[in-house]
Structure 1
Amino acid sequence: MTFNRVRTTAVLALLAALLLPVSLWAASDGDSAPDPVTILKDYLQGLNSLSADFRQITLMSGAQGEQSFESAGRLYLHRPGRFRWEYDTPSEQLIIADGKRVYLQDTELDQVSHRSQKAALEGTPAQLLVSDAPVETFFVLRPLERNDGRAWVELEPKSKDSQVVRLRIGFRDAQLDTLLMEDRFGQLTRFIFTNIQRNPSLDDTLFEFKQSTGGDFLQMD
């Protein structure tokens, strides 16, 4: 099990952090919609923790044509530096970042792999989660015009080593409508979040990995 899966999952945590509540839009003055880039930066500045249920849909093109893969679970985030991903379907997996190391537990394989958090996340958009630095440190931000009834903002990673080519977030009627991630492997992933809580109080034990007896415990660095 490589840490590519960990990196991709960390990106999903970033996407969860970008869920903008309606109240941020409603607070603007006048009839014109506020700049999505400004809203994004303001929201991240005040984001300390987050929890949500998620559904992940990935489209892949290959020799057998276009294929669709779905997974679902729940995430928890505590900035800076800690997150927890619980995949329920199609198989159970647990990913925990405790501020120092990232652990990936695959129940089906009875295997845990772990690596230093700095090495696992370096060069990925997930750095935005574990750092208090401004969003512009890691991304080029630009509003998009598509004339499809949505307000769009695009985030392009500055790191040349990033697996992600771009993130695009679309809003309709002052609510998040579409969130897309395009990676260097030609995959397009859509994210749907429900039961979102922004800045909830989270127990520290959520971000502590407890090794069980048996199975493989693989250190990747």
Structure 2
Amino acid sequence: MAFSNTSKTTGIHKIGQKSRSVSVTSAIAIACVLGVCMLGAGASIALLPTSAHAQTANNAVDTSKVDISPEMIKKIETYLADITTLRADFVQISSDGGAAEGKLYMKRPGKMRFEYNPPSQILLVSTGHDFIYYDKEINAPTYFDIDETPAGIILAENISLTDKVKIVDYRRTAETIRVKLVRKSDPGAGSVTLVFAENPMQLRQWIVTDPTGIETTVTLFNTEEGISLDPELFKFERIWPNQRN
């Protein structure tokens, strides 16, 4: 899940070190776009700082009252908080024409892993402290603070849909619940919409909209919750050339 967009450039921003100055509310959507594009070894990403986002974003975010009850907010928060582990297949589709698929692993609080199917060379790992975007092809990790990503919303130890984020849209059908969120600190930086099945409650999809209007939709299939997961999934080791097993 991410609020930012990516573009091709000649270098990766802050390779191998923690990126604290970049406002990236979700590294997941970045990888979604890059995983789709299958960038070559010579290509990389440019991460826009907060000021650039503010200049390009449409800041006219709807701040009118959203008709969602405190009981529904609590229901969603409780469901997310009660997830201990999750494993699912995912398909992601971008409105700019890209598509990719892979497997998602999650262990709350703080840990997540996205494995993209070949030929993508992208790996995303949240270790509990950092969110790491790793391009295997060029052996280039980039680090983000989990709290700067929408992933931090569902990975947080204390789940809240009203603390650092604001609900700007809520829709309920016979089968689904949709909640659209923006960050209070930078509502113009984009949004993430969480989509749940209600009976039984289950996270099915999220939709990330970046400041330029491009949407990346990640849909989960074959979801399993409360299962045993290997702790090694949430560790990150850089793969060096000619490294022996």
The alignment status of 1:46 with 2:90, answered yes or no, reads no
- For structure 1, the 5+ residue unaligned runs are 14-34, 61-67, 216-221
How far off is 1:188 after superposition? 1.5
SS of match in other structure, 1:42: helix
- Alpha-carbon spacing, 1:40–1:128, altered in 2? closer, same or farther (3 Å): same
> 1:53 and 1:6 mapped to 2: Cα distance?
23
- Alpha-carbon spacing, 1:168–1:86, altered in 2? closer, same or farther (3 Å): closer
SS of match in other structure, 2:158: coil
Deviations 1:82-139 (A, max 9, x none): 21111114512112222233333323x3322232x53xx3433222244212322233
The alignment status of 1:196 with 2:223, answered yes or no, reads yes
Where is the strand percentage greater, Structure 1 or Structure 2? 1
Q: Which residue of 1 aligns with 2:99?
A: 70
How far off is 1:151 after superposition? 4.4
Q: Which residue of 2 aligns with 1:7?
A: 26
> 1:171 and 1:69 mapped to 2: Cα distance?
25
The amino acid of 2:208's aligned partner reads M
Give the counterpart of 2:181 among 156, 163, 185.
156
Within-5 A mapping of 1:53-132: 53-60=89-96, 68-107=97-136, 109-115=137-143, 117-118=144-145, 121-132=146-157
Same amino acid, percent of matched pairs: 21
How far off is 1:50 after superposition? 1.0
* Alpha carbons 2:171, 2:177 under 8 Å: kept: yes
Superposition TM-score, scaled by structure 1 size: 0.65
The alignment status of 1:165 with 2:201, answered yes or no, reads no
Q: Which residue of 2 aligns with 1:135?
A: 160
> 1:6 and 1:90 mapped to 2: Cα distance?
26
The amino acid of 1:140's aligned partner reads K
* Alpha carbons 2:166, 2:184 under 8 Å: kept: no
* Alpha carbons 2:81, 2:158 under 8 Å: kept: no
> 1:132 and 1:198 mapped to 2: Cα distance?
17
- For structure 2, the 5+ residue unaligned runs are 1-11, 14-18, 33-70
How far off is 1:168 after superposition? 4.8
> 2:153 and 2:140 mapped to 1: Cα distance?
25
SS of match in other structure, 2:26: helix
SS of match in other structure, 1:135: coil
Size of the alignment, in residue pairs? Answer: 182
Q: Which residue of 1 aligns with 2:214?
A: 187
- Alpha-carbon spacing, 1:12–1:171, altered in 2? closer, same or farther (3 Å): farther
Superposition TM-score, scaled by structure 2 size: 0.60
* Alpha carbons 1:96, 1:207 under 8 Å: kept: yes
